Structure 1
């Protein structure tokens, strides 16, 4: 979809000024175009996509089933431009049937405070963040046993991986009844790989913490490259410490080893997704050296957009 070249140039300049770690802003995706103009006549544009998911789709772990995602192009208009496009989105939703399992979503650079003002005014909340870490890996704690997981660990690993959604279901997206079934295939595949990307921390002979990780190559031509600078990244997919064992250093010891292994595998930096509304992970990951690069702003259900 084409938009005016001056607006696209201003959009890219805004991203570059807001956060030097952002990759060059991607051109507009396909979708329904929403247009508006500021008080001084500056044109702004949004692209609206609608995504519908079924019960067996893995993104249902964190997503609503019916999502209206807005891609704003506001140039240097700041709060006013973002506000105008969200008003246009509200007009569109007035014509649609949005059920309870629905959401409006905007993924936006975390450091753009002017846009944040508009998101808050329209009832969106920060339900997800892509955090990046560029620091050197810390030394592992020799007092904690951390090892690679294998196929024999599947049942215990799945139980731990599923348990994290018991807690996040309270502070972010509600837990799905089929969470274990959605997690199982990718976890089983990871455990079966020659070079497993799943790590376990043990205490008193019991598995107490898990980290499910991967390596991701961000390029100019793939989806990862739209969010991350080009290069080889370590991806921290799911990390959980068993309830009742949190706060004792298991997670820190586990991630010290995981970060070291990811860097040894060729990753120059690491990234993950976490819930800013989660009072545990939002503190833990910042202490691990991560900071938000992109934030997912949502309102659920979609009809609640103000």
Structure 2
């Protein structure tokens, strides 16, 4: 089966599965360094076929991105066609295993094999599990509520205000607390110098237009939310079928204030800000195995869009 036929059939099938998926998604970050040349893997199984673009990318340990991935990440971008896509994905995974055995450092925890799959396209999930992959990170989507005009529902005792430079220590503490929690589920890696990296990142954000807010519960700062407005979220906009995309970077609530309404108040405020900026949809990343973030975000109107299956180390 020719490559253009696989591309067209895959795009048609995926957009039927989920109307918010673009025909040609781009899930690659701009600030990662590609290692070596991409390799195209193709398979044919009866009347079905598949192609996978195998790439390797790396980030330095002192980069803020290193907190969110292994230092070396091997990815496979899949396209499937034909009446037996499960057989095609199984054959692709087998071929990729051979490729990884030749290029990945064995038993190195700083390597990861990653496959991004449309969350509603569940074909091949069992095969991924059989190859040792787990669904680790999700991109969730929330369409804007264009009919909502009264603003977010208020929570008694909670005041939300723009973050100021004097809030930097509080914001750093909350962000690090969130990253330590998510590290349990493979979403983050706590690096040496994490506090310094987070401090510089948040300091830079506080120096621009307001995109970070603090929640005070009866006068005590116990939560924060960070967003990227549509003009800033271009890096992720190509993974969803929408013209203007807002991104919710992080939401953190101090442990003593959880289940108090602080998180919901912050989420409602972020949604209002993004909608007023013209966002058609909001996106965020979250740890799929987290017993807190997954139910919380889906209660706020989000639903799965992309699932990142990961195996770390890439080759055992």
When normalised by structure 2's length, the TM-score is 0.88
Q: Distance in 2 between matches of 1:28 and 1:255?
A: 25
Q: Secondary structure at the match of 2:315?
A: helix
Which region of structure 1 is more displaced relative to structure 2, 89-98 or 242-251? 89-98
Q: Secondary structure at the match of 1:295?
A: strand
Contact 2:144 2:279 in 1 (8 A): no
Could you say which residue in structure 2 is the equivalent of 1:104? Answer: 113
Which region of structure 1 is more displaced relative to structure 2, 18-27 or 289-298? 18-27
Q: Distance in 1 between matches of 2:236 and 2:285?
A: 13
Q: Distance in 2 between matches of 1:27 and 1:245?
A: 37
Could you say which residue in structure 1 is the equivalent of 2:73? Answer: 67
| Number of positions where the alignment pairs a residue of Structure 1 with one of Structure 2 | 298
Could you say which residue in structure 1 is the equivalent of 2:17? Answer: 18
Which region of structure 1 is more displaced relative to structure 2, 227-236 or 64-73? 227-236
Alignment partner of 1:118 is 2:133: no
Which of residues 227, 232, 235 in structure 1 aligns to 2:239?
A: 227
Contact 1:190 1:197 in 2 (8 A): yes
Pair 101,27 (structure 1): closer, same or farther in 2 beyond 3 Å: closer
Q: Distance in 2 between matches of 1:302 and 1:149?
A: 40
**Aligned residue runs from structure 1 range 225-304, under 5 A:** 225-304=237-316
Contact 2:74 2:314 in 1 (8 A): yes
Pair 283,25 (structure 1): closer, same or farther in 2 beyond 3 Å: same
C-alpha displacement of 1:116: 1.9
**Aligned residue runs from structure 1 range 208-219, under 5 A:** 208-217=222-231
C-alpha displacement of 1:183: 2.1
Could you say which residue in structure 1 is the equivalent of 2:161? Answer: 147
Q: Secondary structure at the match of 2:81?
A: coil
Q: Deviations over 1:240-292 (max 9, x none)?
A: 11022211111011111221122122222211111111110001000000001
Alignment partner of 1:159 is 2:173: yes
Gaps of 5+ in 1: none
C-alpha displacement of 1:58: 1.8
Q: Distance in 1 between matches of 2:140 and 2:250?
A: 13
Could you say which residue in structure 1 is the equivalent of 2:34? Answer: none
Q: Secondary structure at the match of 1:74?
A: strand
C-alpha displacement of 1:139: 2.2
Q: Distance in 2 between matches of 1:286 and 1:249?
A: 15
Could you say which residue in structure 1 is the equivalent of 2:32? Answer: none
Which of residues 27, 48, 55 in structure 2 aligns to 1:49?
A: 55
Q: Distance in 1 between matches of 2:157 and 2:221?
A: 15
Contact 1:128 1:297 in 2 (8 A): yes
Q: Distance in 2 between matches of 1:27 and 1:56?
A: 25
Q: Deviations over 1:54-107 (max 9, x none)?
A: 111222111011111001111244221111111111111222323221110011
Q: Distance in 1 between matches of 2:266 and 2:286?
A: 17
Could you say which residue in structure 2 is the equivalent of 1:7? Answer: 6
Q: Distance in 1 between matches of 2:224 and 2:299?
A: 18
When normalised by structure 1's length, the TM-score is 0.90
Over the aligned positions, Cα root-mean-square deviation in angstroms equals: 2.2
Contact 2:69 2:189 in 1 (8 A): no
C-alpha displacement of 1:24: 1.6
Q: Secondary structure at the match of 2:128?
A: helix
Q: Distance in 2 between matches of 1:110 and 1:27?
A: 15
Gaps of 5+ in 2: 29-36
